[in-house]
Amino acid sequence: YLMDTKVDLMYESFLSELLSEQHLPPNPYPRLLSLFRQAGMKMTLWGESNDQIKSKILHSGGKLVDAENYVYHLAGCDVYGLQTALTCIDVPNFQKVVIIAKQFVNTEFPQRKGQFKIAMVFAVSGWSPWYGQLMPYIIKLDLHEHCYFKGPIGCHGEAILIYIDIVREYLFRENDNGSVVVMGLYIGEHSRWSIEDIKKKSSGFELELSKAIEAKQAVYIKMYKAIGWRYLCIQKHLLFHYVDNTEDDYETFFPNNPVSLYQNTFFLHEK
């Protein structure tokens, strides 16, 4: 029975990987538990037909609520998005993700600043919506915060400086809140600004971040939140948009990723 279910091969593979490392981990059991879970999921896949697996994982993708923009609504966790983003959602487990994600929505921002109108759009993205049957562990929660500035033509530079103030205030609030560990703001792959660095070098922070947004580089905030016995990595991507008052000119100031639209799940239909 153990040979038929490949328990011996799984355990042999675990020991081989463990003993071949340069340093032995203080606690090997989390890794062993993960391997057992993976093996259990494989056994389930091998023992069921393709139709049975599809019926468990996939669903209709919700109800069409906006035919013009192809927006669907998924009952049970009250999220909106394209059908591709909702089809694989495991509703009971995704509700847990939504509860955590909503804690990082920036609600304290001005809706108007000078000559600009400001709006925020929040979404869960990446692999995070697949938590549940498709992904038994959620290691990183990917959040997308779209910030829209509407103002006169050619004034996006001034808008970016106001946006930087909004981002900085949000960082300070999260750090002072004490419920998360704020690692800082990351620009591209190599630049990191901690809370202490931002406070000490405020003008340098503004200059580098404004140049990064102008150059459409990736900008995100990394935080860790205690979830039970472990810390969950929260990666909040900051996505800046500028729309002129005539709505004829529209520009995004972040790396283009056409796939994200098909992964994003939003909390509000209007957004």
What's the pLDDT score for residue 64? 81
- At 271 the pLDDT is 54
What was the pLDDT predicted at 10?
87
Beta bridge partners of 226: 231
Distance CA 246, CA 200 (A): 40
Altogether, the residues listed in the chain come to a count of 271
Name the residue among 172, 167, 157 with its Cα closest to residue 109.
Answer: 167
Residue 270: the pLDDT is: 62
- Sequence-separated (6 or more) residues with CB below 8 Å from residue 70: 64, 82, 83
> What does pTM read for this prediction?
0.78
Predicted local confidence at residue 168, as pLDDT: 96
Q: What is the pLDDT of residue 131?
A: 80
Confidence (pLDDT) at 49: 72
- Residue 182: what are its φ and ψ, rounded to 5°? -90, 115
pLDDT (0 to 100) of residue 53: 67
Low-confidence residues in the chain, pLDDT < 50: none
Distance, in Å, from the CA atom of 148 to the CA atom of 146, rounded to the nearest integer, reads: 6
